[in-house]
């Protein structure tokens, strides 16, 4: 090493070595960091594109939906369940203690108007669409919705009561434009 | 024979510049010594390699007529089936080739377990094999999405949603996988791109697999090390011929399915075009994923194993536990060389482990059966018992048996075993 040290400049072997160590570490860190950062555009290119992201909203006319009936509308490519609940369904949904539930939430917190239950119809387990929208479909042990994929039971408020799903069916952002028109999204 | 070949001037010219022929001769030729007692279970590695080639060739031709777009994918596959010359043949080869690939690799893997091929000094060879299995699974999963039938769509939905179980970042990861808010056109596009790429990644892994194999060479049914030249025969012509014979038998069976039962392994629902608003009543993955699917579904809130691993539901949801268990069911194989403390490789000399091996094998088959049944009633309980046994076997039974068991006496050498048997 001594021949690479620079006696003329008064730099000893020791100093020369630590100077090189510093340079190696510094270049490695900068180079490594730069490469790591360069990965991001490639990863992010796989995230939703701008056109996919462009906020979409769906307007639903509630007037044809009679008490005890449901319809399914599409919003952002996902099904949204809109149900006109019967008094008995509201009653059962409100008679359970929220604290006893898998995902504690009161029925009041899940609706804007008691009779209109509006939620994303995608099972929070692994994304199947629960049954129970149409007459004759199984509604599960809690008379709400039943996901046949791995057996999740949802109650009349769309809350998970039994099975592998961890969360209640999600409530999308929505507002009533007037008594019978609701805007989802 | 080999001698004359290497005296050929063209061969000499090439050899001097790049010793490719002697490389092949040392890898698969008369200069590659191989244990002389390999049985037919040793055919499945070369069979898997042949299928990999078949998959790549048939896949590349399919891709020439396939359109990765949600509006055309299903129709383009139907066009391959009806209008493209021999399109039906090529697609049925590719479809059944996927199943054949898994059959061979699963036999190959259980062969390794039975004869203790994963043990010192072949641990790395085994580990690379586990990664090949994982890469195959990713490839087959994405390939199954491409025809865009109902099972394609809902299988993709369920499996990608698995990642939403990851705490905090789960939902962002799922969105990243989808490129949107549900399985849709961006998802189909990237799956096609990756489905084209992955087989070549597998080829790369296979190169490493073979490299590691050639370091310490094949294990054998006795599981003992070769002692000298008397225990070995050259790979060529003995095993080249045996492998080719195996390929012939395999092709007869394979082409029987392609010609006479092409949809035997498939799901009729996948001939219905994907509909994002209707979940089929009974979603099942391809047969080769059924055991893992059963493990995934076994984890419900009341499953005692879930209660244990989550400390009574405190640590994680049943969904996350199911997902982790499913991945663990394969990743634990990576630890097998260290979980099994027995120095004896072959189960021929392990009187207790022998039985546990077969019970485990039946347990895997049973999990596959459960995975294909709806998650209700007694199927849930049976799935949970089989899942518990699966993990108990790997984590408890293997180490404990390997410590307590007294193996039978092992033969002196491969040759002496053969002579003792009176040959
Ligand atoms: C490791 C090897 C491979 C495996 C395990 C595999 C597996 C699969 C599977 C299971 C399917 C669905 C079959 C169906 O139900 O229709 C599929 C479809 C497809 N694969 Fe592959 N594949 C492999 C290699 C390749 C390669 C190298 C290509 C080349 C581009 C390719 C191109 C395609 C295409 C275009 C389809 C859609 C057409 C169809 O569904 O028949 N595959 N693959
Ligand atoms: S997706 Fe609904 S229970 Fe699994």
Residue nearest to atom 1 of ligand 2 (CA): A126
- Taking the centre of ligand 2 as the mean of its atom positions, its distance from the CA of residue B287, in whole angstroms, is 19
Q: Which ligand is nearest to the CA of A154?
A: 2
In a domain, B54, yes or no: yes
Helix B44-63 crosses helix B235-260 at what angle (to 10 degrees)?
A: 50
Low-confidence stretches of chain B (pLDDT < 50) are: 1, 422-423
* Nearest CA distance, B331 vs chain A (angstrom): 22
CA distances, A165 to each of A117, A127, B2, B324, B379 (Å)? 20, 10, 65, 15, 18
Sign, CA torsion B343/B345/B349/B355? positive
User: Both B174 and B297 in a single domain?
Assistant: no
B26 at interface of A, judged by CB pairs closer than 8 A: no
In a domain, B24, yes or no: no
User: Both B271 and B351 in a single domain?
Assistant: no
Of B178, B277, B300, the CB nearest to A129: B277
Domain ranges of chain A: 4-44, 52-184
Q: Are A128 and B279 inside 8 Å of each other by CB? A: yes
Regarding predicted confidence, which is higher, A153 or A151?
A153
pLDDT of res. B300: 83
pLDDT of res. A65: 92
Gap between the Cα atoms of B160 and B145, Å rounded? 12
* Nearest CA distance, A148 vs chain B (angstrom): 6
In a domain, B385, yes or no: yes
User: Both B136 and B186 in a single domain?
Assistant: yes
Q: Which residues of B313-348 are buried (b: 16+ CB within 10 A; e: fewer)?
A: eeebbbbbbbbbbbebbeebbbbbbebbebebbbbb
Q: How many domains does chain B have?
A: 2
Gap between the Cα atoms of B272 and B104, Å rounded? 30
pLDDT in tens, A83-125: 999 999 999 999 998 888 989 999 999 999 999 999 999 999 8
User: Both B272 and B293 in a single domain?
Assistant: no
B93 at interface of A, judged by CB pairs closer than 8 A: no
Neighbouring C-alpha atoms within 13 Å toward the C-beta of B221: 12
pLDDT of res. A100: 87
Atom of ligand 2 lying closest to residue A150 CA: 3
Gap between the Cα atoms of B299 and A75, Å rounded? 31
Chain B partners of A150 at a C-beta cutoff of 8 Å?
297, 375
pLDDT of res. B403: 96
SS3 state of residue A170 = coil
Q: Which residues of A89-124 are buried (b: 16+ CB within 10 A; e: fewer)?
A: bbebbeebeeeebbeebbbeebbeeeebbbbbbbbb
Lookup: tokens for B176: 């990243």
Residue with the two structure tokens 């394969």:
B330
User: Both B392 and B329 in a single domain?
Assistant: yes
User: Both B141 and B271 in a single domain?
Assistant: yes
User: Both B176 and B252 in a single domain?
Assistant: yes
Topology adopted by domain A52-184 = Rieske Iron-sulfur Protein (2.102.10)
Query: Which residue of chain A is at minimal alpha-carbon distance from B175?
Result: A47
Gap between the Cα atoms of A143 and A154, Å rounded? 8
Gap between the Cα atoms of A52 and B280, Å rounded? 26
User: Both B176 and B272 in a single domain?
Assistant: yes
Gap between the Cα atoms of B389 and B381, Å rounded? 12
Q: Which ligand is nearest to the CA of B61?
A: 1
Of B143, B156, B262, B269, the residue with max ligand 1 atoms within 8 A of its CB, to mutate for a pocket test, comes to B143
Q: Are B181 and A78 inside 8 Å of each other by CB? A: yes
A69 — phi, psi (to 5°)? -110, 155
Residue B285 CB–ligand 1 contact under 6 Å: no
* Nearest CA distance, B177 vs chain A (angstrom): 7
Specify whether the CB–CB gap between A90 and A114 falls below 8 A: yes
Specify whether the CB–CB gap between B303 and B319 falls below 8 A: no
**Interface predicted TM-score (ipTM):** 0.76
- Sequence-separated (6 or more) residues with CB below 8 Å from residue B217: B33, B34, B35, B226
Q: Which residues of A1-39 are buried (b: 16+ CB within 10 A; e: fewer)?
A: eeeebeeeeeeeeeebeeeeeeeeeeeeeeeeeeeeeee
In a domain, B110, yes or no: no
The strand pairing partners of B167, in sequence order, are none
CA distances, A162 to each of A90, A139, A165, B268, B301 (Å)? 19, 12, 8, 30, 8
Specify whether the CB–CB gap between B390 and B363 falls below 8 A: yes
Gap between the Cα atoms of B392 and B295, Å rounded? 13
Residue with the two structure tokens 């690799």:
B105
Q: Are B318 and A166 inside 8 Å of each other by CB? A: yes
**Helix (H), strand (E) counts: chain A:** 3, 9
Among B131, B115, B97, smallest CA distance to B41 is for B115
User: Both B50 and B193 in a single domain?
Assistant: yes
Test the B interface: residue of A73, A164, A167, A185 with most B CBs within 10 Å: A164
pLDDT of res. A1: 46
Give the residue from B283, B305, B333 where a domain finishes.
B283
Structural domain for B322, as ranges? 289-423
User: Both B268 and B367 in a single domain?
Assistant: no
The strand pairing partners of A176, in sequence order, are A182
Gap between the Cα atoms of B287 and B144, Å rounded? 12
- Taking the centre of ligand 1 as the mean of its atom positions, its distance from the CA of residue B361, in whole angstroms, is 28
Q: Are B186 and A49 inside 8 Å of each other by CB? A: yes
The strand pairing partners of A174, in sequence order, are A184
B379 at interface of A, judged by CB pairs closer than 8 A: no
**Whether the predicted pLDDT of A58 surpasses 90:** no
The strand pairing partners of A119, in sequence order, are A81
Residues 120-179 of B with CB under 8 A from A: 154, 157-162, 164, 175-179
In a domain, B12, yes or no: no
B181 at interface of A, judged by CB pairs closer than 8 A: yes
Among B371, B370, B345, smallest CA distance to B357 is for B345
Helix B73-82 crosses helix B87-114 at what angle (to 10 degrees)?
A: 100
User: Both B293 and B270 in a single domain?
Assistant: no
Chain B partners of A102 at a C-beta cutoff of 8 Å?
301
CATH of the domain at B60: 1.20.810.10
* Nearest CA distance, B278 vs chain A (angstrom): 7
Q: Are A149 and B158 inside 8 Å of each other by CB? A: yes
pLDDT in tens, B101-127: 999 999 999 999 999 999 999 999 999
List, in sequence order, every beta strand (DSSP E) within chain A.
58-61, 70-75, 78-84, 116-120, 145-147, 152-154, 160-162, 174-176, 181-184
User: Both B88 and B160 in a single domain?
Assistant: yes
Beta strands across the sheet bearing A70-75: A70-75, A78-84, A116-120
Lookup: tokens for A179: 């008594």
In a domain, B25, yes or no: no
Helix B87-114 crosses helix B235-260 at what angle (to 10 degrees)?
A: 130
Gap between the Cα atoms of B94 and B101, Å rounded? 10
Specify whether the CB–CB gap between B292 and B162 falls below 8 A: no
pLDDT of res. B377: 82
């Amino acid at each position: 090493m001594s021949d690479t040290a620079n006696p003329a400049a008064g730099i000893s072997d020791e100093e020369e070595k630590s100077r090189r160590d510093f340079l190696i570490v510094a270049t490695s860190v900068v180079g490594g960091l730069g490469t790591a950062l360069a990965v991001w555009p490639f990863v992010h290119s796989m995230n939703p594109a701008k056109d996919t992201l462009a906020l979409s909203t769906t307007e639903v006319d509630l007037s044809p939906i009679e008490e005890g009936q449901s319809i399914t509308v599409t919003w952002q490519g996902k099904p949204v369940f809109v149900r006109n609940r019967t008094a008995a369904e509201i009653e059962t949904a409100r008679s359970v203690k929220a604290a006893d539930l898998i995902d504690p939430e009161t029925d009041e917190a899940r609706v804007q108007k008691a009779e209109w239950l509006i939620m994303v119809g995608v099972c929070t387990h692994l994304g199947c669409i629960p049954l129970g929208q149409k007459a004759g479909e199984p509604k599960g042990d809690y008379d709400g919705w039943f996901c046949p994929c791995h057996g999740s039971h949802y109650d009349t408020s769309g809350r998970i009561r039994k099975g592998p799903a961890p969360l209640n069916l999600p409530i999308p952002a929505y507002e009533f434009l007037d008594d019978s028109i609701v805007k989802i999204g | 024979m080999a001698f004359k070949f290497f005296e050929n001037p063209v061969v000499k010219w090439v050899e001097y510049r790049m010793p490719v022929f002697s490389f092949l001769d040392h890898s698969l030729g008369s200069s590659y010594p191989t244990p002389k007692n390999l049985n037919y279970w040793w055919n499945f590695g070369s069979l898997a390699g042949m299928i990999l080639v078949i998959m790549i060739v048939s896949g590349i031709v399919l891709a020439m007529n396939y359109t990765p777009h949600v509006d055309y994918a299903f129709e383009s596959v139907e066009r391959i089936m009806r209008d493209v010359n021999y399109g039906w043949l090529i697609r049925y080869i590719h479809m059944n080739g996927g199943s054949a690939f898994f059959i061979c690799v699963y036999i190959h893997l259980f062969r390794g377990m039975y004869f203790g091929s994963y043990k010192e000094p072949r641990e790395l060879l085994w580990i690379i094999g586990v990664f090949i299995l994982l890469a195959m699974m990713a490839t087959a999963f994405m390939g199954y999405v491409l025809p865009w039938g109902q099972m394609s769509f809902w299988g993709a939905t369920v499996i990608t949603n698995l990642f939403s179980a990851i705490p905090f970042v789960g939902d962002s990861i799922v969105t990243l996988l989808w490129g949107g808010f549900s399985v849709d056109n961006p998802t189909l596009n990237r799956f096609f791109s990756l489905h084209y790429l992955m087989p070549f990644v597998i080829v790369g892994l296979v190169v490493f697999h073979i490299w590691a194999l050639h370091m310490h060479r094949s294990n054998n049914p006795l599981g003992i090390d070769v002692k000298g030249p008397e225990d070995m025969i050259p790979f060529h012509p003995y095993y080249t011929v045996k492998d080719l014979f195996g390929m012939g038998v395999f092709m007869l069976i394979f082409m029987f399915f392609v010609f006479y039962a092409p949809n035997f392994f498939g799901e009729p629902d996948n001939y219905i075009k994907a509909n994002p608003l209707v979940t089929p009543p009974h979603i099942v993955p391809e047969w080769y994923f059924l055991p893992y699917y059963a493990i995934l579904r076994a984890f419900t809130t009341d499953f005692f194993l879930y209660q244990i691993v989550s400390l009574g539901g405190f640590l994680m949801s049943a969904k996350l536990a199911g997902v982790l268990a499913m991945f663990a069911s394969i990743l634990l194989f990576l630890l097998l060389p260290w979980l099994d403390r027995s120095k004896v490789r072959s189960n021929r000399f392990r009187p207790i482990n022998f039985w546990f091996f077969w019970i485990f094998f039946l347990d895997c088959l049973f999990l596959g059966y459960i995975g294909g049944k709806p998650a209700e009633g007694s199927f849930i309980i049976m799935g949970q018992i089989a899942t518990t046994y699966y993990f108990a076997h790997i984590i408890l039974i293997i180490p404990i048996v390997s410590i307590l068991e007294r193996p039978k006496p092992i033969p002196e050498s491969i040759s002496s075993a053969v002579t003792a048997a009176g040959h």
